[in-house]
Amino acid sequence: DAGVIQSPRHEVTEMGQEVTLRCKPISGHDYLFWYRQTMMRGLELLIYFNNNVPIDDSGMPEDRFSAKMPNASFSTLKIQPSEPRDSAVYFCASSRTSGGTYGYTFGSGTRLTVV
């Protein structure tokens, strides 16, 4: 099993540009999560999906952020337009459940820098 795969690993973009982060979850995992890591708040949950359907997007900071999961093996997190304060490491994770019993498997993250 290749684990959770995220791309790109690093992204540097100019303020105002559109950024798309990609994630391939582990096959058979029905839940997919997008987290953002910052020094102040640690790992923040942005949104999660169950069977490709968004369940909770209360953590999405603004309308500039959107996420989709068109099928069980692919999800995107889009920021449009991007701002310098969006600079962070974005993690995708997948799991068999939404709860903690089985834990989540995380990808290696995408380090986003907006200049």
Partner 1 sequence: DQQVKQNSPSLSVQEGRISILNCDYTNSMFDYFLWYKKYPAEGPTFLISISSIKDKNEDGRFTVFLNKSAKHLSLHIVPSQPGDSAVYFCAASADGSSNTGKLIFGQGTTLQVKP
| Contact code string over 52-91 relative to partner 1, x by CB under 8 A | ----x----------------------------------x
Is 42 an interacting residue with respect to partner 1 (CB under 8 A)?
yes
Q: Which of 63, 70, 71, 100 binds partner 1 (CB under 8 A)?
A: 100
Can residue 17 be called a binding residue for partner 1 (CB under 8 A)?
Answer: no
Instruction: Check residue 51 for interaction with partner 1 (CB under 8 A).
Output: no
DSSP β-bridge partners for residue 109: none
Residue of 87, 89, 73 whose CA lies nearest to 32: 73
Beta bridge partners of 44: 36
40 binds partner 1 (CB under 8 A): yes
Stretch in the footprint of partner 1 (CB under 8 A) among 12-20, 65-73, 77-85, 102-110: 102-110
**Placement of tokens 């990808």 in the chain:** 107
Edge to edge, the sheet with strand 74-79 lists: 5-7, 19-24, 74-79, 65-71
Q: Residue 8: is the preceding peptide bond cis (ω within 30°)?
A: yes
Amino acid occupying residue 101? T
Site for partner 1 in 18-37 (CB under 8 A): 33, 35
